Structure 1
């Protein structure tokens, strides 16, 4: 198996740094063999077992060389210390979005609304972290809502989560202590420059609203106050250069204490504000 691992690493080195190519090759081998990383380390000098595992590994490596995301091949990804199911119907949860979760958890809430919930990772994480809370997740994509349903069940919070087919606030009822969203924000002109894993494999409706990339923020900030209780919080994930523009939309909509928070890389990542 060691030889197969090395061949996979070399195949991935055309588009990944050596260390990352090695890591992904090992993850795909663990996936094919249905074993842990520790078990793989102990078995590397063995020959491949008979049966389908080797063919599964070969097919997985070919998929990765076609630039299909590792998460889609494996079918899951880690986010905020938990494992979530993913497929091509949703964006793969990324570490940058953990900044949004951190900011949400920095204050109290009982009822939360996650607009454009996608995989449901943000909503499920917040409900898991706050056992006394309940929430609503919306999405325009029915296949995405089906993924979200699997994930809220996987995290054991399905009794406290309601998933709604909705174009932003269209089908939302009631008010919330916290509204948050990681909306599509990539400008149309930037789509060509995205990595193939994103541009060619993830749903474009979840990546870009077209135009300048700010359309969703205009809708969310304008309608947000009507769905927030007094003192409620709104927060959104943003692209690298959108902080000032989105913060201005918050202020224009009447939000106070508008703040821009950086992620661990020092990039503007979250804009938040509070209703009067």
Structure 2
């Protein structure tokens, strides 16, 4: 019998990954490098390629492919400060495509990223600074994990019974969205908050520490609102109940740790 509560967040013994591997064809999670792909380098013991997956950037008009960027290597170092990411990240992500805005980016801590359910394993990331880049990596990985469980932005009927047409407030988009999208937002950003708290505690003298704190505190506030929306409105199915309850518990605990960290400055 599957312990669905242990699938909800990264497990030290990788139980969640073993279950997903048994349930899913891993080729659906990890796309093969195409003959037209340009690989700049590999990481995570050659399990993840960094380069240009498509010959032309699919977001042309706004973004372009970028050349190899040393920030990716530093971001991976940050990501690995969360021990479970050594296996979690390369299980769901197999190709990182660095991109940049076609026009000048005035905010070095600005970050854009994306993935899509029909291109599993492939993520697009801007590479302005290692800290937001590491955040984007774990953010997109979390989306891909939900995709692998059949939870898309518009539908999660196996896991929740909220009507697909019903809309709920999203603290990330500041608008109303389907419950599946609200769940995706909370799930992906709570991973960011968890990583941020690790980095803030490990690198207290980093030159950008104060900026990190500002970014993290903003995420914390959004997560507090998102948690309240989910606790009030999400309706798990019988299958989804242990998964959703476990996730909400982990999310609540992460928020509590964030509040404890910032208590002195409130």
Q: TM-score, normalised by structure 1?
A: 0.30
- Structure index of larger Rg: 1
More strand by share: 1
Higher relative contact order (CA 8 A, sep 6+): 2
Q: TM-score, normalised by structure 2?
A: 0.31
